[in-house]
Amino acid sequence: MAESEHQRQIEEFGKDDDFWLFGYGSLIWKPPPHFDQRIPGYIEGYVRRFWQASEDHRGTPSAPGRVVTLIDRAHWETLADHDSHTPTERVWGAAYHIPARHVAEVREYLDIREINGYSIQFTPFHPAPFTTQITSPPATSHGASPVTCLVYIGLPENPQFLGPQDTDELAAHILRSRGPSGENREYLFNLEKSLLELSAESGDRHISDLVRRARAIERERGDGSGGEDGDDHRGDRRVGVPLHKVGSTEEQEEVER
């Protein structure tokens, strides 16, 4: 698609009260402000990997942490991925509907994310067959037809994109990283937990494998919970905390990837 056409699509998106945002990272447990519907579901044609450096949220410029990005599946197939798990066709996450009157404010708030290397794409989102929704006012029904979603992706050409990572080194790196939004391990553990809560099929083996390796390292070192129950007993207050709505962009801390 020509750059000008893409720009036009970005500007027009959401004009008909149809602004849907797909979250596959921290957005799953840290929703955007002003959403009135949250629907678990999936997109296709991408692979989720912890291949994006984070200098502003889970790391610092001198010691970047690691967060997830999506890689176009056709491109991923050309790469030598160290993760031996073949990813599923579906990338699970949550789609948020932003009412038309809040779109401009939320767009401005979300665009902050692009600074650290993320770009906008549009893709069909498939609601999970049986969804739990957080709506205000409560929705009466929702069809299962796909909706077009906006999604932020750290493309391979962005400077924070790292490409394939050795899985054990990646787990160790996550354990030693922290940034303004907190410990990188908390991001990893929250991501796995919130993914597993979306549906019976929404686990991601890349993420669960990293959690398993990270917990094994912590057990070996005698720190962290290293527990099997998925709960974090090391003062990680976000794990297990129910999703809650915030009313405005001011109330919400700056969005992280």
Residues found near ligand BEZ in the complex (CB under 6 A): 23-27, 113, 118, 152, 257
Burial class (CB in 10 A: 0-12, 13-18, 19+), 237: exposed
- Cβ atoms 75, 182 nearer than 8 A: no
Nearer to ligand BEZ, 58 or 102 (CB): 58
3-state secondary structure of 31: coil
Minimum distance from CB of 133 to ligand BEZ (Å)?
A: 18
Nearer to ligand BEZ, 19 or 218 (CB): 19
Nearer to ligand BEZ, 151 or 217 (CB): 151
3-state secondary structure of 118: strand
- Cβ atoms 198, 93 nearer than 8 A: yes
In the set 114, 169, 201, 254, the catalytic residue is: 114
Residue 114 annotated in active site: yes
The full DSSP string for 130-183 is S-----SSPPS------EEEEEEEE-TTSTTB-----HHHHHHHHHH-EETTEE
Minimum distance from CB of 228 to ligand BEZ (Å)?
A: 27
Minimum distance from CB of 257 to ligand BEZ (Å)?
A: 4
Nearer to ligand BEZ, 25 or 65 (CB): 25
Shortest CA distance to 255 belongs to which of 62, 154, 111, 48?
111
Question: How many Cβ atoms are within 10 Å of 244's Cβ, its own excluded?
Answer: 9
Burial class (CB in 10 A: 0-12, 13-18, 19+), 145: exposed
Minimum distance from CB of 153 to ligand BEZ (Å)?
A: 7
Positions marked active-site: 114
